[in-house]
Amino acid sequence: MKTNTRQDDRSSVNAEMSDPQSNLQRSSFSLRSLMRGDLGFLPVVFTLALITLYFQVTTGGVFLQARNLTNLTQQIVVISILSTAAVLVLLLGEIDLSLAAVAQACAAVMATVSVYQNWGAIPSILAALVIGALIGLVNGFFIAILRVPSFIVTLAGSIGYAGFLLLVLGRQTTLIVRDPAIRALAPTYLNPIVGWGLPLVVAALYAIGVWYERQRRVKAGLPVKRPTTLIAQVAGIFASIILIVFLFQTYQGVPQAVLISLGIVLVFWLILRKTPFGRHLYAVGGNEEAARRAGINVIGMKMTVFTLASVLAALAGIMLTSRSTAVATQISATLLLNAIAAAVIGGVSLFGGRGSVWAVILGALVIGSLDNGLDLLNQDQSIKNIVQGAVLVLAVTADALVRRANPVRGK
């Protein structure tokens, strides 16, 4: 009887899938989901398009010139890397307020051993990354093992690491880095062959991966997208890459720093989408107690995430030092805000368990475009802070409304 019942259920499902009326009902469900807030990246893309149009008109066409776009993308490299760290922590349902201080402190370690100890570029960079990992372990220990709220731990850490920065630099307020390899990380432009070839190879690998994933789902009997939809998706990726690389090549070429930041985002996207670590991270952020009962090592996850976040912060500090060629005792007042804002604006939930690492790119572009456009219009820093704060409030409000409209997904 059970076998017959299962066969009847399968037959009814197959009939429902082939029935146009059933397809209409499924389409209606998708429309309802869309109206209830499951919009993905569309609101951010629409907002970015409006910002671009506004500044393109008000600056007399300067905003979309190749030179300005190159400067814009280089300006958001540090925010993108630091925001990737913020995304990992936010997906966990926690927060890290020490990221900017960690970035500057680790950069100071790199500069100090490079200038005063005559270390080479690679050992100096590794020293900064190791210090970042140790800081992340300390944060993770208090948060995961001692169960101190992450807000308190990282706020105290931000103050403490700022003191560590002052201790490392000593009496100097600014330390200039003279190692040519470190200074060349951010401002270098790739030659045309590499600048064209590398992005196209990545796009080709993406197309292969999409097709392989479709074939795997077909063999498993899972629903798949239509071939025309996949072709349009891959064609859109190729078209976007060709347009962006063409714009870069009309100025000085593809900036190396941009590829580094995109590479970091791509690596963590693969980790979050294709590995058990990523699935466990979303599970812990969605419901920590349920994840613990499912056998996930919650303590290990938190320790790992905070360690990775601090290592990424150290890397952001390295790129910032390369761009400015110096380390200062003054920590940027807006760096942490912009990193968290980029993640939230891109759609990462403050409540954990929802969002994509690709939010970093869109969110950083929104923040960077506002900053760059207002600079072109010669606006004061006060106006820039007000505008960025308003955008952040709108993003958080949208996140809260989405959670309220989707109570099953909310916490």
Tens of pLDDT, residue by residue over 239-278, are: 988 998 998 999 889 999 999 999 999 999 999 988 999 9
Helices marked H in 36-75: 42-58, 66-75
- 386: domain CATH number is 1.10.3470
Can you tell me the mean pLDDT for 217-228? 85
Angle at 293 between CA 290 and CA 294, to 5 degrees: 85
Task: Tell whether 34 is covered by a domain.
Answer: no
Residue scoring higher pLDDT (165 or 35): 165
Query: Is the pLDDT reported for residue 153 higher than 80?
Result: yes
Query: Residue 408 — very low, low, confident or very high, per pLDDT cuts 50/70/90?
Result: very low
CA distance 309 to 317: 12
pTM reported for the whole predicted model: 0.85
**Residue with structure tokens 């776009």?**
69
Strands 326-328 and 174-176: antiparallel
Angle at 285 between CA 284 and CA 286, to 5 degrees: 90
Q: For residue 210, what pLDDT is reported?
A: 84
Q: Which of 392, 362, 315 is nearest to 46 (CA)?
A: 362
Task: Tell whether 25 is covered by a domain.
Answer: no
Query: Is the pLDDT reported for residue 25 higher than 60?
Result: no
Can you tell me the mean pLDDT for 213-230? 85
CA 254 to each of CA 78, 198, 332: distance values in angstroms, whole numbers, following the listed order: 17, 10, 27
Query: Is the pLDDT reported for residue 16 higher than 60?
Result: no
Query: Is the pLDDT reported for residue 88 higher than 80?
Result: yes
Q: For residue 406, what pLDDT is reported?
A: 60
pLDDT averaged over the chain? Answer: 85
Name beta bridge partners: 328.
174
Query: Is the pLDDT reported for residue 219 higher than 70?
Result: yes
Query: Residue 407 — very low, low, confident or very high, per pLDDT cuts 50/70/90?
Result: low
Task: Tell whether 321 is covered by a domain.
Answer: yes
Share above pLDDT 90 across residues of the chain, in percent, rounded to a whole number: 53
Residue scoring higher pLDDT (386 or 406): 386
Cβ-contact 335, 103 below 8 angstroms: yes
Query: Out of 5-19, 108-122, 324-338, 379-393, which region has the weakest mean confidence (pLDDT)?
Result: 5-19
Cβ-contact 108, 165 below 8 angstroms: yes
Residue scoring higher pLDDT (20 or 381): 381
Query: Is the pLDDT reported for residue 48 higher than 50?
Result: yes
Task: Tell whether 12 is covered by a domain.
Answer: no
Buried/exposed 279-299: b ≥16 CB within 10 Å, e otherwise:
ebbbbbbbebeebeeeebebe
Q: For residue 307, what pLDDT is reported?
A: 97
CA distance 106 to 125: 9
Q: For residue 41, what pLDDT is reported?
A: 66
Query: Residue 222 — very low, low, confident or very high, per pLDDT cuts 50/70/90?
Result: confident
Strands (E) across 120-199 are located at 174-176
What range defines the domain where residue 76 resides? 41-188+255-405
Q: Which of 263, 258, 323 is nearest to 73 (CA)?
A: 258
CA 382 to each of CA 149, 303, 365, 369, 375: distance values in angstroms, whole numbers, following the listed order: 32, 38, 20, 16, 12
Task: Tell whether 347 is covered by a domain.
Answer: yes
Query: Out of 109-123, 142-156, 241-255, 387-401, which region has the weakest mean confidence (pLDDT)?
Result: 387-401
Task: Tell whether 410 is covered by a domain.
Answer: no
Give pLDDT tens digits for 281-315: 999 998 999 999 999 999 999 999 999 999 999 99
Task: Tell whether 22 is covered by a domain.
Answer: no
Query: Residue 36 — very low, low, confident or very high, per pLDDT cuts 50/70/90?
Result: very low
Report for 31-35, 166-170, 343-347, 359-363: range of highest mean pLDDT: 166-170
Q: For residue 358, what pLDDT is reported?
A: 85
Can you tell me the mean pLDDT for 135-145? 96
Give pLDDT tens digits for 324-355: 999 999 898 788 988 998 898 888 888 888 88
Query: Residue 102 — very low, low, confident or very high, per pLDDT cuts 50/70/90?
Result: very high
Task: Tell whether 333 is covered by a domain.
Answer: yes
Q: For residue 6, what pLDDT is reported?
A: 43
Q: For residue 73, what pLDDT is reported?
A: 92
Can you tell me the mean pLDDT for 350-363? 84
CA distance 380 to 411: 40
Query: Residue 149 — very low, low, confident or very high, per pLDDT cuts 50/70/90?
Result: very high
Number of domains in the chain: 1
Cβ-contact 281, 88 below 8 angstroms: yes
Q: Which of 391, 273, 374, 315 is nearest to 68 (CA)?
A: 374
CA distance 278 to 263: 17
